[in-house]
């Protein structure tokens, strides 16, 4: 009787553990792969209003690679990342490229859509004071596998 209960308990724990692992893999698997930057749109704010908006089309092969183990690489350097819900956090260590030093930084974006081979990222760098927009910018990036 004790061995039967032990076996049932062990099987239940095994199934629960497998289910959690599969859910995690499925969530992050959508972002795994090499993504090419297609274009972005930037809105710049000054004195609480849109100062200007500009679009940029990437033509030099800029990319970002997300590996299944939480590491990645873009056209500049390597990084680590965490993708949870719709929030993507990328952490860069400091690096030098072409003689130009870059400080360590963390970028946080909202993944507003991943459909097939297309992904849209939203970055919000706007600043507020007393609940009112003062300055900053917001960026929407379009990527494709």
- Look up residue 15 and give its two tokens: 């199934």
Distance CA 122, CA 110 (A): 5
Sites in the chain below the pLDDT cut of 70: 1-28
Sign of the CA dihedral running 122, 123, 125, 128:
positive
pTM across the whole model: 0.72
Distance CA 104, CA 106 (A): 7
Q: Are strands 87-92 and 49-57 parallel, antiparallel or unpaired?
A: unpaired
Distance CA 134, CA 122 (A): 19
Provide the pLDDT for residue 116. Answer: 87
Sorted by sequence, the CB contacts under 8 Å of residue 42 that are 6+ apart come out as: 53, 54, 55, 56, 137, 138, 139
Provide the pLDDT for residue 68. Answer: 96
Provide the pLDDT for residue 3. Answer: 42
């Amino acid at each position: 009787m004790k061995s039967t209960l032990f076996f049932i308990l062990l099987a239940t724990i095994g199934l629960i553990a497998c289910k959690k692992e599969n859910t995690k893999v499925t969530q992050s698997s959508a972002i795994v792969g090499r993504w090419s930057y297609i274009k972005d749109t930037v809105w710049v704010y000054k004195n609480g209003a849109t100062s200007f908006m500009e679009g940029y089309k990437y033509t030099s092969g800029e990319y970002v690679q997300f590996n299944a183990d939480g590491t990645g690489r873009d056209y500049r350097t390597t990084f680590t990342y965490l993708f949870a819900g719709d929030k993507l956090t990328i952490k860069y260590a400091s690096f030098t490229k072409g003689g130009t030093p870059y400080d360590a930084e963390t970028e946080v974006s909202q993944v507003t859509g991943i459909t097939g081979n297309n992904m849209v990222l939203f970055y919000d760098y706007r600043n507020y004071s007393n609940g009112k927009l003062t300055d900053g910018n917001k960026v929407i990036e379009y990527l494709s596998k």
